[in-house]
Amino acid sequence: MLEGVETSRLLKTVTEQAYNAVLITDADLTGGGPFIVYCNPAFCRMTGYERSELLGRSPRLLQGPETDRTVIDSLRQGLHQQTFWEGSTVNYRKDGESYVVNWNISPVSGDGKRVTHFVSMQQDITARVRVEAERDMLIQALNQAHDPVFVTDGDARIVFANAAFESLTGYRAAEVTGKTPALLSSGEQSAEFYREMWKALENNQPFQARFINRRQDGSRYHVEQSIAPVLNHFGRRTHFISTSWQVDDLVERENALQIMATRDKLSGLLNRRAGDEALYKAHHEHLANAQPLSVIICDIDHFKAVNDTFGHLAGDRIIQLIAELIDQQARSGDPAIRWGGEEFLIILQANLTAAMGLAERLRSAVEHLQDAEVGLVTLSLGVAEMLHGESTEQLLGRADGALYRAKRSGRNRVMSGAGN
């Protein structure tokens, strides 16, 4: 064990070389006290005073206009009560420059009973307070921003979300803190989409795309979202910042334009141009995945007579009624097209048997359709399945031939184009 002299020498050496400022005062609280009896070099560096300028003086010489009087009153109360005290406020260096100090004061009992001194450990926290103030200002600015912003750490866990984010998503910032943005996923974007996103971010590149996200209440919304890595001074990625702007109105307009470009105005089915694209896509999938491909071509019987007898408004109404039946009967994902004036095309990823079954159901449904003005309406239908090595033109030609035979055979019937 160290002897008393050695202990005192060690404590003095430690105090003199300590990084934090150390100040010792007496315990005399009268006559403007307590007064400084010791300060280490760190305290002198922090205040700008020489040790000789401080000894015997009150620490009050460090106070100034911005010193918080409430803090000083609390300090004085702690001294009078001879209890541990801690606080922070603004002090002033010898040259008049202000700094923020955090310090604690502990009473020291010389004989174990009577307090003879107070020892204070102090630290200049000006830089930390400045950083915190800048952070608070940044947070306030982000919360005033109109567009949603959130920040994640390097593990993609949310550490900040602004008020606009809360308003858009329905989540409070406290609810999402510590969670990943995956809670916003709607499931409507592919795994490949997210792989491309992470490929860019892991290479410290920004990623921007349109996201279909989900609010807390389950409703979907669209945003143009930009995600950027945040790098520290060493070039290491520490955070990600995401900014976005809602584009639901834009998506709605785009969808309306898409409908105008691809939908037949009268029937609501795909138009001829969109039908050509759908047939091309179906043929590509047929070749790539060896899936069966069939088509149904149907034509309203005696349609010219309907127009001639009842007028074009009645003819338009019949087209709409039959288009509605076709849309109801066709399987989800099977394109239904207004192929011509009174002619319709259905594309099926199905074999001839399934296509013939659908065609017969359509024929029967139309046969039971009674228009109050026109009366009975019927369909003739031709069906064909894609053969090995056949083109779409040849497939349509066989279906069209089957439709022609159905017409010649008395109409209101389904004919197969198999083998032709």
What is the set of active-site residues?
Answer: 342
- Give CA–CA dist 44/47, Å, rounded: 5
Q: Residue 288 in contact with residue 280, Cβ under 8 Å?
A: no
Contacts of 317 (CB under 8 A, 6+ apart): 371, 374
Is-contact 223 210, C-beta < 8 A? yes
Helix (H) / strand (E) element for 59: namely: none
CA triple 255-260-266, angle to 5 deg: 130
Question: Is the Cβ–Cβ distance between 269 and 323 less than 8 Å?
Answer: yes
Distance, in Å, from the CA atom of 300 to the CA atom of 380, rounded to the nearest integer, reads 7
If 0-12 CB within 10 Å is exposed, 13-18 middle and 19+ buried, where does residue 23 land? Answer: buried
Q: What value, to the nearest 5°, has the Cα angle with vertex 133 and ends 130 and 135? A: 110
CA distances from 45 to 24, 99, 103, 130 (A): 16, 12, 16, 20
Question: Measuring CA to CA, which residue among 34, 134, 46 is closest to residue 91?
Answer: 46
Cα–Cα distances in angstroms (integers) from residue 278 to residues 36, 47, 283, in the given order:
90, 80, 9
Output the six-digit token pair for 318: 């019949």
Tokens of 184: 């916003």
Residue 210: phi and psi, rounded to 5, are -90, 125
Q: Pinpoint the alpha helices (H) of 290-411.
A: 303-310, 312-329, 352-367, 392-408
Beta-bridge partner residues of 381? 298, 414
Sign of CA dihedral 45, 48, 51, 54: negative
Nearest by Cα to 278 from 340, 334, 355: 334
* Residue whose pair of structure tokens reads 């949310």 in the numeric block: 158
Instruction: Please name the amino acid found at residue 222.
Output: H
